[in-house]
Chain A
Amino acid sequence: MGIHLPPVLAFALRRLLQAVPVILLIMIGSFLLLKLTPGDTVDALVGDMGGADPAFVARLRAEYGLDQPVLVQMWRYLSKLAMFDFGWSYVYEQPVSTVLLDRLGTTLLLMASSLSIAFVCGVSLGAFAARRAYSLTDNVISTLGLVFYAMPSFFLALLMILLFSVKLGWLPVGGVATIGAFYTGWDKVADTAMHMVMPTMALSLIYLAFYMRLMRTSVLEVSDLDFVRTARAKGASPSRVMFHHIMRNALLPVVTLLGLQFSTVLGGSVVIETIFSLPGLGQLAYTSVVKRDLNTLLGIIFLCSIIVVIVNFLTDLVYAWLDRRIDLK
């Protein structure tokens, strides 16, 4: 290549180029899939109004461009999307981008908090269990992991609501803020945190169990490697061997899984947001499907694919930083 870029930048540029066809394919696929489903926005609107005469329905269709062939509709949509114009949501009577931006924060907050809790707790519990492998501690941790792992998140969510909100009354049942309280400053932060506790737990526990099991196996595996023996032959203490020699090497498969699972967490948030009535992208997706709000739905898909692409890119960066043998090429 003629121009010399720093490796990270060149890598980023290449990944950006690779992302374009990926996202394009996702959008085309989803558009066609959604067009295959019976019913459209007009059906949903007319249904809400309790019926209307055929001439009005036909005019409405023509107005929204729904009378055109599917390929023409797709072309129109994609050419607008190329300029980051997401279109108009006929359900919310707002531009889709506004609707999306309103909801993005809540979802990102939920995902970031549950993934970080899952990752940090999973990794430390897993490492801890591996260090005391086959002891009582290990068995207790592993059994707990199995329980979390086997429990569907919606069921866990309902159980928690029953216990913490209904019986004990410690935590709010749903929503993201106490209605009518109008907190500001730190009170608002504390209030939001209170509301996020249960959704975050419900979403993170299953992933926590994943990371824990993987980390435990990984630590046990790395502990048997030659360089760990070298470190012990140098006179390093068990905790030093764990932190400096085992952890970093054992983290690699966990990071891989973290990147891969990000998209599943997005999917899982649909359920959780609906149960806890959090105004996030997941809940929005659910209502958009019911209302046949195609523009909003496609906007969510677009946004999610971008998030996943970005997260995969970040995972690769973290991976390269953790594993010195990998060159960013």
Chain B
Amino acid sequence: MTPAKPILEIQNLRVALPEGGDRPNALDDLTLTVNEGEIVCLVGESGSGKSMAAGAVMRLLPEPHVRVTQGAVRLDGQDITALGQREMRALRGDRLSMIFQEPMTALNPQKTVGWQIDEVLRLHTDLDRRARKARVLEILADVHIPDPASTYNAYPHQMSGGQRQRVMIAMALVLKPRLIIADEPTTALDVTTQKQILKLIKDLQHVHRTGILFITHDFGVVAEIADRIAVLRLGELVEQGPAAQILNAPQHPYTKALIAAVPALTPPPEKPLVDAPVVLEAKSLRKTFAARGGLLSGKRAPVVAVKDLSFQLRRGETLGVVGESGSGKTTVSRIVTRLLESDSGEVLIDGRDLIAASRRELRALRKDIQMVFQDPMASLNPRKRVIDLIAQGPIVHGTPKAEAHARARELLSLVELSPAAADRFPHEFSGGQRQRIGIARAIAMEPRVIVADEPVSALDVSVQAQVLRLLADLRDRLSLSLLFVTHDLRVAAQLCDKVIVMQKGEIVEAGPTSRVFADPQHSYTQSLLASIPGRDWEPPVQALAVK
């Protein structure tokens, strides 16, 4: 093979942030090359400036607040930082295109899919209406959309997330650009869909010899798709090289730490918990979101979110509830805490039924079962100090204020936050720290069970590892039981003793994590496990990280 031609060359690029930010430059001295037919993954945690790199190449930075102050971006040898707005517009969508993260919001809700792809052709070609339509139908077929003709007239909300992302890809590919920038294109998708989309991107890129700058935070995805990898930290490139080298023999300590934080796919050994008492038991739970409407308003079909669900959770045990979106896993977490009323069934905490409890009994029972939520920003009242947030629960349940506050300060050190944190407000903390506050708030009630609904999915991978370690540690020290709802099978493998796999409101498989992962019985579990990105790659530094 002849040496590949560079498509994109970024040279000593510097992007300045407005004054008063946490650092002067979003990107500092970034040099990066994408060759023809190559996928370069730009990896970094939130705030690393990876999306700024995309913005700088597309020239879509929020100027003049954020602007390129130094360096060159060359597309096929032509420096595009010097181009005027009009020339740049001619380039975008034609030789340079972009795929965004959220297929849900990245398409105009008021225009048909066909119109939106057609717009690219209208802007950049002289084709007539008929030719354009033929081309759109062709590209829709290329991205494997079933029935392109009817999709042409469909609105984005009528399609699934995966289909919408296919449309985005079709839109990016329709003029066979030289370079595609993909900004976290699969982050919002379920694993099985993610696998298909990654395969699609790889296949199409192979056929068209397009260069792809693939921005992601997920090393699993990187392992799946990258030819070369560049690692970014706080705007600086710390390491770049061929995929195999970075993944298996990283040199820079930051890369090593990042890879070490990726949860391995090896579940913990089975715990001998058979004799531990059952703390939480669910018996044939059922929840249907009722059909709405009647004579005078619209009708909506009933949705069965959970049907006939039973499980047992023993003391000190972690039970993972895994499944894709729409599987009913979040509904389960809401029902067992009775934030949502179930239609039938029982939830027993130490033998006392939560579902049938009266208001007064419920309040006492709530003490024993606490929740940790997904979004640590949205679940903490922004107007209250941390100490009040943590002490509020015990105070409501009758603990004297002074005692509750003293206990709250202890809890802060338990979740590894400094005591000074007590008098600050939630917005002064990072996502990981906020999730620690959320956990402290939950254990302040001294519960028997903690229900955690995707507690780490909004966090960066290194922070995620810390929070998971903290949860496991607290569980062992306080003999808590965890009901852990997650879509991330790597996280489940890391933490859970047992898992139940849900699909469309039903448990398709349940058992010890190690057994389910090693030898899945149900076809759905098999396909879920086969879709984990980078499942063939064993993070190598794991051995080093264990001290």
Contacts and interface: CB of A to CB of B under 8 A. Distances in A.
Q: Tell whether A and B belong to one assembly.
A: yes
A230 B107 contact: yes
A188 interface: no
Interface of B: 58, 60, 89-94, 97-98, 100, 102, 105-111, 119-120, 123-124, 155, 157, 168, 171, 293, 296-300
A235 B108 contact: no
A229 B299 contact: no
A18 B100 contact: no
Contact of B94 (A227, A235, A240): A235
B298 A322 contact: no
Contacts of A230: 98, 100, 106-108, 168, 171
A14 B296 CA distance: 6
Interface residues of A, number: 26
| Most chain A beta carbons < 10 A, residue from B94, B120, B168 | B120
A17 interface: yes
Given A233-B92, A234-B123, 7 more contacts: A226-B100, A226-B105, A227-B109, A231-B119, A233-B97, A235-B89, A325-B109
A323 B124 contact: no
Contact of A235 (B105, B124, B157, B168): B124
A236 B298 contact: no
Contacts of A244: 108, 111, 119
A227 B89 contact: no
A324 B109 contact: yes
Contacts of B155: 324-325
A237 B84 CA distance: 13
Given A17-B296, A325-B155, A329-B298, A231 B108 contact: yes
A249 interface: yes
Contacts of B106: 226-227, 229-230
A232 B92 contact: yes
Interface in A226-254: 226-227, 229-237, 240, 244-245, 248-249
B212 to A, nearest CB: 15
Nearest to A7: B298
B123 A249 contact: no
| Most chain B beta carbons < 10 A, residue from A232, A233, A322 | A233
Main DSSP-derived SS at the A contact region:
helix
Interface in A141-163: none
29 contacts: A14-B297, A225-B105, A226-B100, A226-B102, A227-B106, A227-B108, A229-B60, A230-B98, A230-B168, A231-B108, A233-B98, A234-B92, A234-B119, A235-B92, A235-B120, A235-B124, A236-B89, A236-B93, A240-B123, A244-B108, A249-B108, A249-B110, A323-B109, A323-B110, A324-B109, A324-B155, A325-B109, A329-B297, A329-B298
Contacts of A233: 58, 60, 92-93, 97-98, 100
Contacts of B93: 233-236
- Nearest 6 pairs of A and B residues by beta carbon: A329-B298, A235-B93, A235-B92, A234-B93, A226-B105, A233-B98
Interface string A203-234: 00000000000000000000001110111111
A299 B303 CA distance: 47
A53 interface: no
A327 interface: yes
A324 B157 contact: yes
Contacts of A325: 109, 155, 157
B109 A249 contact: yes
Interface in A10-62: 14, 17-18
Nearest to A11: B298
A249 B300 CA distance: 26
Nearest to A17: B296
Interface string A305-329: 0000000000000000011110101
